[in-house]
Amino acid sequence: MSSNLSRAPCLLRSRLYTTIRLAYRGRLTVPQVSRALPTSRPFSTSPPKALKVTSPSLNWHEPSPERIIQQQIAAGKVNKWGWVVYRTAYQPELDAAWATLQRVVLEDLCETVAESDAPEIAEQMEWLFVEDPELDGASLDELKRRFRAWARADAPYDLLETEINRPGRYDLFVQADEEALRCFVPDPGSYNAAFNSCAHVNLVRAWADPLPEEEATDEDGEPYDSEDWMKIHLGVVSPHYYVYLGGDDSWYAYYRAPPDGLCIP
């Protein structure tokens, strides 16, 4: 029997690779993106399957994350879904790592959505991988300003800075800094072990402003943790966490303080 679900893996891979957009300066054309992100997955870049997040319904009466995304689109809250990923390290040896990160993220999302009860959301999936040398070493405040300007232009309604229930697309973004990208630099001798242990990116709360200067330190002059970002394992880059990490309560339920903390699936 033919169905959207049975056809989804091939359709998803085709559509995902042709909707990747490298935004701003240095933007690639679709053919260039396809060449940068080959569809084959070398053994040495495969994330550990045991850590892969699948998204069945949490209870029999509760919709899956993919179904929730579908409902958000139907309600007009978003036209597309997916996070923005900013590259902030531009050493030449990290170029291949950046391409690997994109491929691994998209292939895992492709597989997860295809196996879900709402494979149709592949039609509206758009993860923006932003590559711009001006972002080399950019601070989180710089990225937040850039993201907020993009979100206001992209959203199908007027975003307010005080809004508390933004869809994930406009609430959070991903940073791939030097530490994160170096987890994907090929090393024939130890690459698999390095990949399995440290593969991560940074997830940032886009609308969390820094504390006022008079409140930014404790009585001993030590800075408070702003709690506006954390390291996440690549397994967290999934529809499940895309849906459930929004809002203060959910954020703090999963929050692990950097630099040593890591949110894992």
| Model pLDDT for residues 106-120, shown as the tens digit of each residue | 999 999 999 999 999
Task: Look at residue 194 and tell me if it is in a domain.
Answer: yes
Angle between helices 4-19 and 95-114 (to 10 degrees): 160
Task: Look at residue 75 and tell me if it is in a domain.
Answer: yes
Phi and psi at residue 76, to the nearest 5°: 80, 10
| Residue 131 neighbours by CB distance under 10 Å | 21
| Residue 1 neighbours by CB distance under 10 Å | 3
Mean pLDDT of the chain: 77
242-258: average pLDDT = 89
What range does the domain containing 105 cover?
A: 4-37+59-210+222-254
Task: Look at residue 259 and tell me if it is in a domain.
Answer: no
- Portion of the chain with pLDDT greater than 70, in percent: 66
228-252: average pLDDT = 92
Total domains in the chain come to 1
Task: Look at residue 103 and tell me if it is in a domain.
Answer: yes
Task: Look at residue 42 and tell me if it is in a domain.
Answer: no
Task: Look at residue 89 and tell me if it is in a domain.
Answer: yes
* pLDDT at residue 42 greater than cutoff 70: no
Q: How far is CA 190 from CA 47, 97, 102, 181, in A?
A: 14, 15, 21, 16
pTM, two decimals, is 0.76
* pLDDT at residue 30 greater than cutoff 50: no
> Amino acid identity of 136?
D
